[in-house]
Amino acid sequence: MAAARPFLKMHGAGNDFVVLDARAHPLDLAPAAAARIADRHRGVGCDQIILIEPDDGAAAFMRILNADGSESGACGNATRCVAALLAGETGARRLAIRTNAGLLPAEIKGPTLVEVDMGAPKLGWEDIPLAEPADTLSLRLALGPVQNPAACSMGNPHATFFVDDLTHLQIETIGPKLEHARLFPERANIGFARIDAPDRIRLRVWERGAGLTLACGSGACAALVNAHRRGLAARRAEIEMDGGTLTLTWRDDGHVLMEGPVALVFEGELDAAMLAP
Ligand SMILES: N[C@@H](CCC[C@H](N)C(=O)O)C(=O)O
């Protein structure tokens, strides 16, 4: 059985994480163990579990496990948190974190502020991925009051619905049904965006494998990209979510810059039984 492990509880705009450092001692975390740790009553409680692993060409490799134990290729808010953590070890202001989405350069902008280059979105139906050829600017998907989202991948699949009213939207009801829609063979993160101005978007995200979170960094990137593609937003906007606001820029070179807060909440130790498969 694995030994007890220290962990850090962190969050980025309220999107919260249990961070485990597996650089010195590898940790093969089974989906059931991830779900156990993420449980907000019987575990530590978090949206995602983040494993920091060794990497030859970057400060570290970041493995992302959702609260349901599924693995994702991108997690914007956690990337900022891990960048801040690793920068604090060396005093560096610039570093790069590798995820399955690629090599993500990060810059420390302040004691609790980090900017990450999230790379370029993928816009083709097969890159999202979708189950069939489709115009990713307007998918033939509708449920209740929402329809025709735009879709892109930030290393993970996102569909963004544009709505006028976020107050009466039953996201807990329609979110899981859309997450598991047949159109999304790997499921999808579902964003609901209200355009308040060309440079201001109000966003709520039903996250794949985690549910309604207070913020979603890759979801914010997808919302800006999809809004700009639709002619609804500029290339730079403030994305306001329940847990906080991120500043997003879709650069002319195609890369999306995301700036936002990071926080360390507490340190703890996971009992070995929590880590068992
Ligand atoms: N909260 C993250 C996204 C985490 C992964 C996502 N739920 C997925 O399964 O793709 C973010 O800040 O991007």
Q: Tell me the domain boundaries of the chain.
A: 3-115+261-272, 123-253
Catalytic residue, chosen from 46, 81, 216, 221, is: 216
Taking only the tens place, the pLDDT of each residue in 200-232 is: 999 999 999 999 999 999 999 999 999 999 999
Q: 123-253 sits in which CATH class?
A: alpha beta
User: What number of CA atoms fall less than 13 Å from residue 205's CA on the CB side?
Assistant: 31
Q: For the residues 156-178, what does the mean pLDDT come to?
A: 97
**Tokens in use for 142?**
């509708």
Look-up of token digits 């400060």: 59
pLDDT at residue 1 greater than cutoff 70: no
- The domain defined by 3-115+261-272 carries CATH number 3.40.309.10: no
Q: Is the CB of 217 under 6 A from ligand 1?
A: yes
ipTM over 0.90: yes
Quote the CA–CA distance of 129 and 18 in Å, as a whole number: 28
Q: How far is CA 169 from CA 10, 206, 216, 226, in A?
A: 29, 12, 18, 20
Q: Is position 216 annotated as part of the catalytic site? A: yes
Taking only the tens place, the pLDDT of each residue in 63-95 is: 999 999 999 999 999 999 999 999 999 999 999
pLDDT value of position 241 = 98
- Per-residue pLDDT band for 150 (boundaries 50, 70, 90) equals very high
Quote the CA–CA distance of 212 and 194 in Å, as a whole number: 16
Q: Is the CB of 153 under 6 A from ligand 1?
A: no
Overall pTM > 0.95:
yes
Measured over the CA atoms of residue 241, residue 103, residue 2 and residue 85, the dihedral's sign is negative
pLDDT at residue 3 greater than cutoff 90: no
pLDDT at residue 137 greater than cutoff 70: yes
SS3 9: strand
Domains 3-115+261-272 and 123-253 share a fold: yes
